Amino acid sequence: MYPLSTHGRHPVLTQRVRGLSLIELVIFIAVVSAALAGVLAVFIQSTSTSADPMLRRQALAVAESLLEEVSLMPFTYCDGDDANVTTATSTADCASSADAIGPESGENRFATPQFDNANDYGGYSMNGIVDITNTAVAGLSGYSASVAVTPVTLNTMTAASGDVLRISVTVTDPRGGTLTLDGYRTRHAPNASL
């Protein structure tokens, strides 16, 4: 038999039992599970979009490259094959053909006859990025690019004069995200743009 304490109670029963009840344990598991699910959702989201910055940087590099290529082309009144291309001061001075938006018959970006003027790129597009020799660029087959060239007004130069072009390059990445870069090309002297 157990000895009684001075108050007449059993010594083991006088100490408070410490621990978790079954209800407290179930509530703890539920709270931790909910928190863990939230944290995992954040990790899953960040992992699934971790390639997005790379796709955007690559699309930007493609757009910058194509915009620079177009901007560095001559911007003359006459087609590059015209006899007066270097001396014409207006489209009326062209011997055979004034240059217009879009390529002339048969011209393309990478084979003879090649684009010979900035406005020849108007309407150009490619699915899968290729270089100037029409060689596919490794790793860029899922991208596409298009170029729009339009006459615009810039300060005192009017769109009707044809002396200012806005070059818009739009690149679409493999996930369908688009990026557009705009640049301007001016005709500041008949022969200075060659």
Residues 25-84 have pLDDT tens digits of: 899 999 999 999 988 888 887 776 665 788 899 999 999 999 999 999 988 888 888 888
**For the chain, how many residues are written?**
194
Is the domain of 44 the same as that of 96? no
178 located within any domain: yes
Residue 113, classified by CB atoms within 10 Å of its CB into exposed (0-12), middle (13-18) or buried (19+), is middle
Q: Looking at the structure, do residues 108 and 37 belong to the same domain, yes or no?
A: no
**144 shares a domain with 131:** yes
Instruction: Check pLDDT > 60 for residue 20.
Output: yes
Residues 57 and 96 in one domain: yes
Structural domain of 43? 17-48
The total domain count for the chain is 2
Q: Does residue 180 sit within a domain?
A: yes
31 and 118 part of one domain: no
Q: What is the pLDDT of residues 104-122, one digit of tens each?
A: 888 888 888 888 889 899 9
H or E element that contains 127: strand 125-127
CB of 69 closer than 8 Å to CB of 94: no
Type of residue found at 62: V
Residue 3 has pLDDT above 70, yes or no: no
Three-state DSSP class for residue 55: helix
Tell me, yes or no, whether 94 and 127 share the same domain.
yes
Residues 59 and 36 in one domain: no
Residue 1 located in a structural domain: no
Do 167 and 72 share a structural domain? yes
Burial of 79 (0-12, 13-18, 19+ CB in 10 A): buried
Paired residues of 154 in beta bridges: 157
pLDDT at 194: 47
In a domain, 2, yes or no: no
Q: Are residues 21 and 60 in the same domain?
A: no
Give the pLDDT confidence score for residue 190 in this predicted structure: 55
Task: Specify whether 155 is located in the same domain as 59.
Answer: yes
- SS3 state at 117: coil
From residue 63, alpha-carbon distances to 28, 31, 52 in Å are 53, 49, 16
